[in-house]
Amino acid sequence: MPERWLQIKGDPMVRGFLFQQQRVESLFDMSIDRAHKIARTLLTRKGAFHTKIHYSSSQLTSWFARDPFEVV
């Protein structure tokens, strides 16, 4: 462990470009209410026991039980 704190920062050109980026609205963003309704339906009526919505990559992933009413 160094005795003095040393911070090494990246290339200033890369850092400058990072803050110039702008977010573009995706189709997923435009229909987010529909995606939430689908996720709710999967969880409450279709046997999904885990659903993950990843907003930044526009993905909805679900894990399903073979028989959601079977007690193991």
Q: CA neighbours within 13 Å on the CB side: how many for 9? A: 6
pLDDT in 10s for each residue of the chain, 72 residues: 567 877 667 777 777 777 788 888 888 889 999 999 999 999 999 989 999 999 888 899 999 987 766 776
Note whether 47 and 68 are within 8 A (CB): yes
Q: What range does the domain containing 48 cover? A: 23-72
Q: What is the CA radius of gyration of the chain?
A: 21
pTM, 2 dp: 0.60
Q: Which residue in the block uniquely carries the two structure tokens 């995606």?
A: 35
Structural domain contains residue 8: no
Structural domain contains residue 58: yes
Structural domain contains residue 7: no
| DSSP 8-state code for residue 43 | H
Overall number of domains in the chain? 1
